[in-house]
Amino acid sequence: MNRPAVFLDRDGTIFKDTGYPGDKSPIDFLPGVPESLRKLQIDFQLIIISNQSGVGRGIITHDEMKRVHHKMIEKLADEKIKITDSYYCPHAPSDNCVCRKPKPAMIETAAKKWGVNLSQSYMIGDKLSDVLAGYHAGCKSILLGKDRSAKENHIKRPYPHFVATDFKSAAKWILKDAKLHGV
């Protein structure tokens, strides 16, 4: 079954970005996220794709990052949101690994594992690296917030497909676009 997915950046997209979250860091949803994810999960697999360079930079341990991530997944489950899977890159930018966004490897790995139709899928993120990862994987990309560099690049390139002021407007756009294209 080739069910489409919404690939989600984590920090700054579904949860407030607290820098490099540790075990005691607060985990708070951004406005409109829980209700929007509940709507999206009806038609889409929800897959988290996240760079976590705090591990590679030595700011947090791998185990600490996993514990924080587990708490976030539990918080989503408490809101009746099922995350199909999650992928993260623990490397520092200087490592030049194959998995770090803007490279599409994490999205492509998830697509292969879960039978995702990438041409009918979406990537939501708050940074240009999120948008580029989705674009290079063959998804439509949505930029959250006011990242000037992505807006300027949008003039020259075919991405992002949509710039949303918040998660709720991104989800509305996805549902409208999917319906328009028969997803």
- The arithmetic mean of pLDDT across residues 132-151, rounded, is 82
In the sheet that 140-144 helps form, which strands lie side by side, from edge to edge? 85-89, 45-51, 5-8, 122-125, 140-144, 162-164
Please provide the DSSP assignment of 133-154 as one string.
Answer: HHHHHT-EEEEES--HHHHHHH
pLDDT of residue 20: 66
Q: Is the pLDDT of residue 102 over 70?
A: yes
What's the pLDDT band for 63 if we cut at 50, 70, 90? confident
Q: Is the pLDDT of residue 110 over 70?
A: yes
CB atoms within 10 A of CB 35: 15
Q: Is the pTM of this model over 0.85?
A: yes
Q: Is the pLDDT of residue 156 over 70?
A: no
Q: Is the pLDDT of residue 162 over 70?
A: yes
What's the pLDDT band for 86 if we cut at 50, 70, 90? very high
Q: Is the pLDDT of residue 153 over 70?
A: no
State which H helix or E strand residue 179 sits in: helix 167-180
- In the chain, the domains with their CATH numbers are 5-180 (3.40.50.1000)
Give the active site residue among 9, 126, 130, 147. 9
Which of the pair, 23 or 52, is modelled with greater confidence?
Answer: 52
pLDDT of residue 180: 85
Q: Mean pLDDT, the chain, as a whole number?
A: 88
CB atoms within 10 A of CB 20: 17
CA distance between the termini of the chain: 13
Which of the pair, 18 or 160, is modelled with greater confidence?
Answer: 160
Sign of the torsion angle spanned by Cα atoms 66, 72, 78, 81: negative
Q: Which residue has the tokens 């328009």?
A: 180
Active site residue 147: no
Active site residue 11: yes
- The arithmetic mean of pLDDT across residues 114-137, rounded, is 95
The two tokens of residue 27 are 């985990």
The two tokens of residue 108 are 């492509």
pLDDT of residue 112: 97
